[in-house]
Amino acid sequence: MREQRRKDAVWKFLTYSFILVMTVAMMVPLYWMIVAATLPQEEFIQFPPRLYPGTHFFENFAVLHAETEFVVSIWNSVFIAVVYTVLSVLLCSMAGFAFAKYEFRFKEPIFYLILATLVLPIQLLVIPLFLMMSQIGWMDTFRAIILPWLANPIGIFLMRQNMRSIPDALLESARMDGATEFQIFYRIALPAMRSSLAALAIILFLFQWDLFLYPLVILESSANYTIPVALSGLEESRRINYDQIMVASSLAIIPLAILFLVLQKQFVSGILAGSLKE
């Protein structure tokens, strides 16, 4: 018994050490980014490097604010990403459910087609999509940024994989109780997928959040710029304005951190267990 407790203690120690080491490794570059945001550019690149924050944050922010409409850009990015995420989560979980739990013709070829669209490099889609958007008069609009990527293959794939772990018996018993197929989808499948939906939301949000070349080409007025597009304007012909980029990306982390925290409580184990017991 004591042997077992000792082993458990060692195991706990190792687990915590691993988590802590990884956390530190992940935080160092971010910490340094925030330090950089608080320094004037000259102090930022020196050897040995400075390891603690300075007092230049507001000066750097003032320059950033003067040169870009950065606060507006944060709002645009958040708005686009949120609308996109909500719509796409619904769409992807519907399709994912169909692929995981139903049989239909051409199921496999269609799935592999979706997979192939996942491989497409966005860089090459930009020119034809630009052409389309300018033809239908959607240039400089958010819908042009949101709609083409709604049917997100990553999302469909993820939901397909996760929905497969829902026991068929559970769905069958619901059918026996007279539930329609749609009720099964949104009463049973979706709730069982809470943590996966949260992960999916993160994936989709980030996908849209990171898009650069496409919005760069589509968005024309600076009042509509997303964060990456606004940041691209900070690059001078020869020098990069590190200080402002660091301020901007430090600030840009905040919406993502909020997203993680909001989705936090979806990550609790045993949900499926609960629904099975009912």
Find the shortest distance in angstroms from Cβ 73 to other proteins.
Answer: 11
CA distance 118 to 112: 10
Site string for other proteins, 87-126 (x = CB under 8 A): ---xx--xx-xxx--xxxx----x-x-xxxxxxxx-xxxx
CA distance 208 to 85: 8
> Do 233 and 79 contact (CB within 8 A), yes or no?
no
Nearer to other proteins, 173 or 264 (CB): 264
Find the shortest distance in angstroms from Cβ 81 to other proteins.
Answer: 11
CA R_g for the chain: 24
Site string for other proteins, 218-257 (x = CB under 8 A): --x------xxx-xxxxxxxxxx-x--xx-xx--xx--xx
Count the site residues for other proteins by CB under 8 A.
126
Applying CB under 8 A, which of residues 156, 188, 204, 208 lies at the interface with other proteins? 156
What sections of 103-212 are H helices per DSSP? 107-119, 122-135, 142-146, 153-163, 168-176, 181-183, 190-192, 194-210
Nearer to other proteins, 6 or 164 (CB): 164
> Do 146 and 79 contact (CB within 8 A), yes or no?
no
Considering the rule CB under 8 A, would residue 141 count as an interface residue with other proteins?
no
Considering the rule CB under 8 A, would residue 5 count as an interface residue with other proteins?
no
Q: Is the peptide bond before 255 cis (omega within 30 degrees of 0)?
A: no
Considering the rule CB under 8 A, would residue 23 count as an interface residue with other proteins?
yes
Provide the 3-class DSSP secondary structure of residue 240: strand
Site string for other proteins, 171-210 (x = CB under 8 A): ---------xxx--xx-----xx-xx-xx--xx--x--xx
